[in-house]
Amino acid sequence: MCGRARYIRGDANGDGRVNITDMTITLAFLFQSQPAPDCLDQFDSDDDGKVDTADALRIGQALYLHGPPLASPFPSAGTDPTADGLKCEVASGQDPA
């Protein structure tokens, strides 16, 4: 669970914005054996409790195909409102709340 860490859902690189770079980073994590981030919940764009290709697609739908917005916490930083098995120690570039 995310605990007290604050993050923006879909912001895989922790720069405070969700864009095509976050899609790329999510796919690189999945297919290029990138190390796990401190906050896997950032990568879980659809908030289904797992990180998979659907998360990268969900960002693209929200940004470029006028799909529904990403789940909370989005578009502002916050804590995860749902309990799941994804760890979230401290989001990238964030101090613990």
Residues of the chain below pLDDT 70: 1-4, 89-97
The answer regarding whether domain 1-97 maps to CATH 1.10.1330.10 reads yes
- What is the pTM (predicted TM-score) of this model? 0.81
CA atoms within 13 A on the CB side of 49: 5
Contact 11, 17 (CB under 8 A): yes
Return all residues near 57 (Cβ < 8 A) that are at least 6 apart. none
Give percent above pLDDT 70 in the chain. 87
Number of H helices and number of E strands within the chain? 2, 0
